[in-house]
Structure 1
Amino acid sequence: MTALGQGLDRATYGLSWLGSLCVILMMLHITAEVTLRYLFGITLPGTLVFVGNYYMIVVVFVPLALLELRGRHIAVDVVARGFPPGLQRVLAALARLMTVFVMGLLTVAAWQQAVGKMRVGATIEQGTASILIWPGHFILVAGCGLMTLVAACRLAEIVSGRDLGLPAEEPA
C-alpha cells in the first residue's frame, strides 16, 4: 500500500470511528435528556443544538469518504455492464470526475461558510445558554474534503491504470 493510499485509508476509517462514537454519544445524550425530563422535570440545555449542529453533521457527512473508499455509493450500472471494458472504464472515469468536481465545490463552499461562521463566532441561544456552533461547520469540510480526495485518488487509478494503494472496492 502506498503512503497516499494508506493515509487516506487511515483518515477515512478514523473519521468513521468518530461517526460511530457520535451515534453512541447522541443516543446517550438524548436518552439522558428524556429520562431527566420525564422523571425529574430537568432539561439538559442545548440538546437540540448539539444533536442538530454536531452529532448529525458527523453522522451524515463523515461516512461519505468510507462509502467512496469501499465503492458502496448507489450506482445504477445495469446497462453499462453490457458495454465493452474500455467504454466501462471511460464511464467510470467520467463518473468519478463528476464526483470530484461536485464534492470539491461542496468542500470549498463549506469551507467558506465555516470560516465565515468562525469569524462571527456563530452561536445559538437555547434557554439561558449560548452554544457555539461554528466548529460543527468544519466537520462538514472534513467529510466532504476527504471524500473528494478519495474520489480523486480513485479517478487517478482509473486514468493511470496504476494501483495507488487504496483498498479494493467491495463487490455489490
Structure 2
Amino acid sequence: MKSFAYFLGKAIDYLEKICMTGSVLSVIFMMLLVTADVTGRKFFGQPIPGSVEINEEYLMVTMVYLAMSYVYIQGGHVRVTLIRRFLPQVFLKVIDPCLNALGLAFFSLITYFGWQKTATALKFKETSSCILAFPMAPAYFLLTLGAALLCVRIIESIVQPAKIKWEEN
C-alpha cells in the first residue's frame, strides 16, 4: 500500500508540471503580445492598450514564479561553485542545509506576505493602474503559489538531498 507522502509527492509533481506549463505559455503569450504591440505601433500607429502592464504585472510574474520550483528541482538556479570545489565535503554537508534553510525562510516570507497581499487585493478589489484596470489578485496569487511550491521543494531537498540534480562545474 502506498503512503500518504507518496500521493502528496505525486500531487505536488503534477501541480508543478501545470505551473511549468503556465510559465512556458506565458513566455509564448508575452512574445506574441509584444510582437503584436510593436507591429501595431510601427505599421498602424496604434499600440495595444495595456500591453506593457499585462507583460509586467501578469506574464513576467507567471513566467518567473511558476517556474521557480521546477528550476530548483532540476538544479538550475544560480550557484557559486568556484569556491565549492575547494571546500571539504564535511563542510559542504553542514553548509548546504543551512543555505537551504535560509532560502526556505526567505521564500516562506514571500509566500506569507504574498498571501496577505492576495487577500487584501481580493478584499479591496485592487486593479491595475493601466487603462484596462484588470484585477491584481490573480497575479499576487500566482506569485504566492510559485513561492509556496519552491518552499515545498526546498523542504524536500533538506529531507532528501539526493533528489536535486546539482551540477558542479
Same fold (TM over 0.5): yes
Question: Structure 2: any 5+ residue segments left out of the alignment?
Answer: none
TM-score scaled to structure 1, two decimals?
0.83
Q: 2:157 aligns with which of 119, 143, 154?
A: 154
Question: Structure 1: any 5+ residue segments left out of the alignment?
Answer: none
Counterpart amino acid of residue 70 in structure 2: L
TM-score scaled to structure 2, two decimals?
0.84
Deviates more, 1:144-153 or 1:57-66: 57-66
Higher strand share: 1
8 Å Cα contact 1:122/1:134 also seen in 2: yes
Alignment of 1:29-108 (within 5 A): 29-108=33-112
Partner residue in 1 for 2:143: 140
1:112 matched to 2:116? The reply is yes
CA distance in 1, matches of 2:10, 2:59: 27
8 Å Cα contact 1:46/1:131 also seen in 2: no
Q: How many equivalent residue pairs?
A: 164
Counterpart amino acid of residue 171 in structure 1: E
Identity of aligned residues (%): 23
1:8 matched to 2:8? The reply is no
Q: Which runs of 4+ in 1 moved over 4 A?
A: none
Partner residue in 2 for 1:24: 28
Partner residue in 2 for 1:169: 165
Aligned-pair Cα RMSD in Å? 2.2
Give the deviation of 1:125 after TM superposition. 4.2
Give the deviation of 1:22 after TM superposition. 0.4
Which of the pair has the greater relative contact order for Cα pairs under 8 Å at 6+ separation?
1
